């Protein structure tokens, strides 16, 4: 999808992730925040027709092709568009557990599911201010990382498999300042089947 950039509908109902992620947050987060990133990306690209054919992913992978004056706007709003479009489908309810090849890879990389959970939580909690925590495939290996603001691992050539949004807008209505409670709740709504699809595609 290229210019004008749009956002996908949620792949489930707004209340589907209750009680872990509340309906009001999903409305606000998807309809207002995500939509605003698309609107602002379009505004930033309005006068740059040479970039209109590029998808958000292509823009983020080629930020050096964006004129300097617009680069920060494209990085922030393009990241906001792509990251949230990736985020919604890695959640679902009931949540699942890693299976098969992905489970084996997680065990190999982190020792166990619990250890993975611990490391991912650490990345989510350790991100100061706004940003994201990610499980990525980096040169064939699973890795956990976090990014600031709307920066995306795809800009660094890494392939995202799973992410959590740790901007306050992702949890403040329900959890107020308790990011840890939100991160803990998130593990109940991870759709590991979707993560496994990303893993299979990334390994090709």
Sites of contact with Mn ion (CB under 5 A): 165, 167
Q: Which is nearer to Mn ion, 3 or 86 (CB)?
A: 86
User: Cβ(191)–Cβ(95) under 8 Å?
Assistant: yes
**Other beta carbons less than 10 A from residue 100's beta carbon:** 11
CB of 150 to Mn ion, least distance (A): 8
With vertex at residue 61, the alpha carbon angle to CA 38 and CA 34, rounded to the nearest 5 degrees, is 20
CA separation for the pair 63, 157 (Å, rounded) = 12
User: Cβ(189)–Cβ(17) under 8 Å?
Assistant: yes
CB of 60 to Mn ion, least distance (A): 16
DSSP character string of 151-195: --GGGGT-EEEEEEE-SGGGTHHHHTT-HHHHHHHHTTSB-HHHH
CB of 68 to Mn ion, least distance (A): 26
Q: Which is nearer to Mn ion, 167 or 175 (CB)?
A: 167
Name the residue whose CB lies closest to Mn ion.
165
Strand order, beta sheet including 131-138:
141-148, 131-138, 159-165
Q: Which is nearer to Mn ion, 60 or 105 (CB)?
A: 60
CB of 148 to Mn ion, least distance (A): 13
Q: Looking at the DSSP assignment, which residues form a beta bridge with residue 147?
A: 132
CB of 134 to Mn ion, least distance (A): 14
Q: Which is nearer to Mn ion, 88 or 110 (CB)?
A: 88
Q: Which is nearer to Mn ion, 110 or 120 (CB)?
A: 120
């Amino acid at each position: 999808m290229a210019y004008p950039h749009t956002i996908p509908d949620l792949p489930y109902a707004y209340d589907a992730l209750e009680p872990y992620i509340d309906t009001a947050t999903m409305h606000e987060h998807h309809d207002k925040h995500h939509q605003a990133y698309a609107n602002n990306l379009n505004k930033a690209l309005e006068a740059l027709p040479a970039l209109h054919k590029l998808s958000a992913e292509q823009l983020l992978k080629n930020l050096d092709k964006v004129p300097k004056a617009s680069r920060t706007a494209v990085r922030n709003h393009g990241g906001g568009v792509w990251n949230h479009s990736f985020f919604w489908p890695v959640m679902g309810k009931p949540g699942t557990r890693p299976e098969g090849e992905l489970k084996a890879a997680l065990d190999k990389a982190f020792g166990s599911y619990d250890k993975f959970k611990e490391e991912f939580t650490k990345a989510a909690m350790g991100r100061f201010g706004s940003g994201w925590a990610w499980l990525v495939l980096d040169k064939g290996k699973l890795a956990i990382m976090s990014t600031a603001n709307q920066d995306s691992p795809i800009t660094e050539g890494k392939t995202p498999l799973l992410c959590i949004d740790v901007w306050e807008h992702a949890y403040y209505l329900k959890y107020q300042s308790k990011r840890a409670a939100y991160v803990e709740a998130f593990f109940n709504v991870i759709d590991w089947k979707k993560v496994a699809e990303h893993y299979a595609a990334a390994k090709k």
